[in-house]
Chain A
Amino acid sequence: TQLLEQSPQFLSIQEGENLTVYCNSSSVFSSLQWYRQEPGEGPVLLVTVVTGGEVKKLKRLTFQFGDARKDSSLHITAAQPGDTGLYLCAGVISNFGNEKLTFGTGTRLTIIP
């Protein structure tokens, strides 16, 4: 059973369009991180959200943490070919002791020029 479900699994859109990727769970997370991964490379940290309802912006990327800290979304405005990659959400269930990340299934995004 996957603890974190991401949707969609695959997304291919034209340059300039907007998109939203979702990350859902039945578990409460003390913090949630979004990563982007290129083929053959390790995940690169984009953002960490920790407070229910929190919204963070990173240029054209907007990240939101659900009020109940069980879900998150990533919205990209005016997508560019450089946004192409595998987007992974990862949550930490407890801040007490182990900070191991539980990763979602990933969303593979392709931006067509």
Chain B
Amino acid sequence: DTGVSQDPRHKITKRGQNVTFRCDPISEHNRLYWYRQTLGQGPEFLTYFQNEAQLEKSRLLSDRFSAERPKGSFSTLEIQRTEQGDSAMYLCASSRTTTGGWYEQYFGPGTRLTVT
């Protein structure tokens, strides 16, 4: 079990540029989630996939944000025309149903985005 991986770990970009982050979930997990965490706060839900289907998006996810999971494996999160308010840690998590019938989410190390 190699865990959830995210790339890059850190990204510094200038305002107005586009950025893309990648998440590789634990291989047998069919659900994948994106969260955003700002300093001093707990993570906030952005969107989630079951296999390749994007089933829910938060109101936090403006039109500048798009997420894909084309083959039901890895996922990408793209932010277009970045703004300083986008600076945050972007976390990916994956899950599968436990024997008890609920889902446990396992997080990656995150991508720290700084918009200058």
Contact = CB atoms under 8 A, between A and B. Distances in A.
Interface residues of A, number: 27
Chain A binding site: helix, strand, loop or mixed by DSSP? loop
A92 B102 contact: yes
Given A43-B107, A45-B106, A106 B42 contact: yes
B72 interface: no
Contact of A42 (B42, B45, B56, B91): B91
Interface stretch (B12-20, B63-71, B75-83, B108-116): B108-116
A10 to B, nearest CB: 11
B93 to A, nearest CB: 8
B89 to A, nearest CB: 8
Interface string A71-103: 000000000000000001010100101111111
B21 interface: no
